[in-house]
Amino acid sequence: MSRLDVENLWVRFPTRQGVFDAVRGVSFSLERERLGIVGESGSGKSMTGRAILRLIRPPGIVEADRISLEGRNLLQASEPQMRDVRGRQISMIMQDPKFSLNPVIRVGEQIMEAYLMRARTSRAEARKTTLEMLEAVSISDPERVMRAYPHEISGGMGQRVMIAMMLIAGPRILIADEPTSALDVSVQRQVLDIMDSLVKKRGMGLIFISHDLNLVSEFCDRVLIMYFGRIVEVCDADRLHEAKHPYTRGLLNSLPRLDRPRKHLQTLTRDPSWKDMPSVTGVR
């Protein structure tokens, strides 16, 4: 039994032109590892992450043969039970801290709220834990940041606050949806290092959703490459550059490289048959 099992997951959106399938029968498992999901916009990578936490709003439809968290079937969980899963069992970090934090509530209050919802404890205790958590994400003056409003902190710090908030209840699985795309390269590295050490220390499973192939190959253990709602290839992250599927190859080759100057970049010619190829399983 793995930590998380997803079997034949579909995400559908009924539209006027018929039903649109955003995710088309994806299966994968997650152990105590860092699993990357890469793909372009519209490939269904974010929808996969959201579907696990049942964050897809109607009229969107989520169907699966199985989504199980350490043997417990999440598909049969009621909404109150799901609320219990979110945060305490599985947490999700979204792309942009600006849109994920409440702009009119102080940062500290928001993190404490996340903690108090999950743990029955006093406010003083929650405050102490929050300060420790902010320190754990390398915020040097946690007292000041506790009192700050979201607009008073930088993007990099905002993302670290989000990480603190998502990890404070000690989840078993962390889903990070483009957690560093809005950040500068140097800050990106810092945030990734913090996430990495916390994931290792606490033995969490991590699903890392990103469009950045280089980042994923460096940061993750295993990578799923998604195209049109299906997994087209699964490979070990450090061997991503030896990927076989023409889509993965095309993505890798279209990146400009400092060490290989060329007049024109290689462009990706999409073969219509890729859409209809069966999904590769990401089960270990």
By CB under 8 A, name the binding residues for another protein: 40-41, 155, 184-189, 211, 213-214, 218, 250-251, 254-259, 261-268
Nearest-approach distance from CB 74 to another protein, in angstroms? 31
Nearer to another protein, 74 or 157 (CB): 157
**Helix runs in 123-183, H state only:** 123-136, 142-147, 155-167
Quick one: which of 37, 30, 38, 28 has its CA closest to 6? 28
Nearest-approach distance from CB 269 to another protein, in angstroms? 10
Cα distance between residue 52 and residue 215, in whole Å: 23
Phi-psi region of 156 (alpha: psi -120 to 50; beta: other; left: phi over 0): alpha
Nearer to another protein, 173 or 225 (CB): 225
Structure tokens at 147: 């009192």
Nearest-approach distance from CB 92 to another protein, in angstroms? 22
Nearer to another protein, 41 or 78 (CB): 41
Quick one: which of 65, 32, 10 has its CA closest to 284? 32
Q: Within its chain, how far is the Cα of 69 from the centroid?
A: 16
Nearest-approach distance from CB 203 to another protein, in angstroms? 27
Nearer to another protein, 52 or 191 (CB): 191
Nearer to another protein, 116 or 157 (CB): 157
Q: Give the neighbor-by-neighbor strand order of the sheet with 90-93.
A: 90-93, 173-177, 205-210, 34-38, 222-227, 230-236
**Which H helix or E strand runs over 72?**
strand 72-73
Nearest-approach distance from CB 267 to another protein, in angstroms? 5
